[in-house]
């Protein structure tokens, strides 16, 4: 993705998020220079990979295959083994109309996917077989706002604004917005986007960035290079 496209998506996303009354934390609006100047204060932000995240999954077709995300809070995976500490994470995401987040699952993370407003959020679901691959026969039973719903293998679960689904580790899912763009909330156990995404096809979790202009704000995938 070109940096100019990423910059435009960031600004459009912020306006969309604000239209629903959701305000990002102050560090979201720091410039790259401000983040470098404040490195002594932002270790918690960089280590937890809080912040902007835009991906086209390496496909180069963001409008067809992509997702906007902002990680608002995130704990430490090491605390999961201890059973205490900050064991949770939160994201706000935007799925544009007919824009697909490709089929994937998590080994560790359990997550609530919440339609915060806009159109209908559609999720295609599969269970895992014994080897962790997609089970194309088993039906999928998931909690939705405290009530169980069942879809056939590869069935589509649709969430209207205000509705949510809980996806436990091993549940394969792809999702997209129907009819109009959707603001999505995610509440989960500790999030590790580097190691805990298993995709059904060989794709990349993060975008390759072509630097055709300076970044307005850094992505979480920029931190290692820009902040050291």
State the sign of the Cα–Cα–Cα–Cα dihedral 134, 137, 140, 141: negative
pLDDT at 118: 98
- DSSP-derived secondary structure letter, 26: G
CA distance 25 to 48: 15
Q: What is the pLDDT along the chain (228 residues), one digit of tens a residue?
A: 999 999 999 999 999 999 999 999 999 999 999 999 999 899 999 999 999 999 999 999 999 999 999 999 999 999 988 999 999 999 999 999 999 999 999 999 999 999 999 999 999 999 999 999 999 999 999 999 999 999 999 999 999 999 999 999 999 999 999 999 999 999 999 999 999 999 999 999 999 999 999 999 999 999 999 997
CA distance 32 to 227: 9
DSSP result, 165-203: EEE-TT-EEEEEEEEEEEEEEEEEE---TTTS-EESSS-
Please count the structural domains in the chain. 1
pLDDT at 42: 94
Domain that holds residue 55: 3-227
Distance of CA 140 to the CA centre of its chain: 22
Asked if residues 132 and 198 have their Cβ atoms less than 8 Å apart, the reply is yes
CA distance 156 to 8: 31
pLDDT at 81: 86
Q: What is the mean pLDDT of the chain?
A: 97
CATH assignment of the domain containing 187: 2.60.120.10
């Amino acid at each position: 993705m070109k940096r100019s496209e990423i910059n435009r998506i960031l600004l459009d996303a912020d306006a969309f998020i604000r239209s629903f009354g959701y305000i990002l934390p102050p560090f979201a609006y720091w410039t790259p220079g401000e983040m470098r100047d404040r490195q002594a204060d932002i270790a918690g932000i960089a280590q937890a990979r809080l912040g902007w995240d835009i991906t086209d999954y390496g496909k180069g077709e963001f409008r067809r295959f992509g997702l906007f995300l902002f990680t608002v809070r995130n704990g430490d995976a090491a605390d999961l083994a201890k059973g205490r500490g900050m064991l949770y994470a939160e994201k706000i995401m935007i799925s544009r109309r007919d824009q697909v987040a490709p089929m994937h699952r998590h080994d560790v993370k359990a997550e609530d996917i919440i339609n915060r407003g806009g159109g209908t959020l559609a999720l295609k679901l599969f269970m895992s077989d014994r080897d962790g691959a997609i089970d194309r026969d088993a039906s999928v039973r998931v909690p939705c706002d405290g009530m169980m719903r069942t879809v056939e293998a590869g069935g589509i679960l649709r969430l209207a604004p205000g509705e949510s689904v809980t996806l436990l580790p091993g549940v394969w899912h792809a999702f997209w917005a129907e009819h109009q763009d959707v603001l999505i909330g995610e509440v989960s156990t500790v999030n590790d986007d580097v190691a805990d995404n298993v995709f059904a096809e060989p794709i990349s979790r993060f975008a390759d960035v072509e630097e055709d202009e300076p970044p307005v704000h850094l992505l979480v995938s920029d931190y290692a290079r820009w902040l050291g």
